[in-house]
Structure 1
Amino acid sequence: MKKLILCIIPLAFLVSGCAGMIIGETTSAALEVAKVPFKVGGAVVDVVTGD
């Protein structure tokens, strides 16, 4: 029984680390997608104003 627990505990940490990485990457991607309209809007303003 102790061997089973000693195997399960490290696996639990690995799974939580993977979940954290997935959440972090998803958040980063969502932030980049949210920035796109502002970048496009800035480019349009630059074209219109001649900068």
Structure 2
Amino acid sequence: MVKVCSVLACVLLLQGCITSVVTLPVKVAYKTTKGVVKGTAAVVGAVIPDGDDKKSKD
């Protein structure tokens, strides 16, 4: 019974630390993916012209 109470107390006291450890990799993955998507969009935009040149409008 003492072990169960000890484990329960540790879980409640360390809840903030566990949340930080779990959310850190998610934040890093999100920022990395966001940068890769922006870079890919820039490369695709440079390779495939979107047709809004001033010459074609005249």
Q: Same fold (TM over 0.5)?
A: yes
Unaligned runs of 5+ in 2: 53-58
Structure 1 stretches (4+) deviating beyond 4 angstroms?
none
Instruction: Give, in angstroms, the shift of residue 43 of structure 1.
Output: 1.6
Number of corresponding residues: 46
Identity between Structure 1 and Structure 2 (%): 9
RMSD, aligned CA: 2.2
Please identify the structure whose Cα radius of gyration is greater.
2
Q: Give the TM-score, by structure 1 length.
A: 0.60
What TM-score does the superposition give when structure 2 sets the normalisation length? 0.55
- Please say if 1:32 is aligned against 2:34: yes
**Runs of at least 5 residues in structure 1 that lack an aligned partner in the other structure:** none
Q: Encode CA deviations 1:1-51: one digit per residue, 9 max, x unaligned.
A: x6xx32x3212232111111121111100111111221101221343x526
Tell me how far apart the structure 2 counterparts of residues 34 and 42 of structure 1 sit (CA, whole Å). 12
**3-state secondary structure, aligned to 2:12:** helix
2: CA distance between counterparts of 1:44 and 1:19? 39
2:51 corresponds to which letter in structure 1?
G
Higher normalized helix content (fraction of residues): 1
